Amino acid sequence: MSRKNSIYSNELKLEIVQAYLTGNESMQKIADRYEIRNVSQVKAWVKKYKEVGSIEAFNRIASTGSGAKGEKNPLKGKRVHFKNVEEERDYYKAQVEYLKKQYPNL
């Protein structure tokens, strides 16, 4: 029986991804064998693994909804008052770096 609101360990996720990548079973069969509620979860883990190529892919939580692999958006929040020009420059540099990661194709 599948579990509701399950939290899977990184080791289990990696084992599932590697089981799929060996090519012996379909995602659906692997999801059934490991009692994963939805095959789309396995798809997401495989996709994330292929993008990053290691278990670190599972350590990032993209719960912010920003699509930036768990990074907080420096553009949101309170207004910022700077003590000097260098501090302001560093702030805007951080914004630019965030946007570069957010939109790598631009």
Measured CA to CA, the distance from residue 87 to residue 1 in angstroms comes to: 55
Q: Check residue 64 and give its pLDDT.
A: 39
What pTM did the predictor assign? 0.51
Q: Check residue 29 and give its pLDDT.
A: 93
Confidence of residue 66 (pLDDT cuts 50, 70, 90): very low
Q: Is 67 left (phi over 0), alpha (psi -120 to 50) or beta?
A: left
Residues 5/38, Cβ–Cβ less than 8 Å? no
Q: What percent of the chain has pLDDT over 90?
A: 15
> Average pLDDT of 58-86?
61
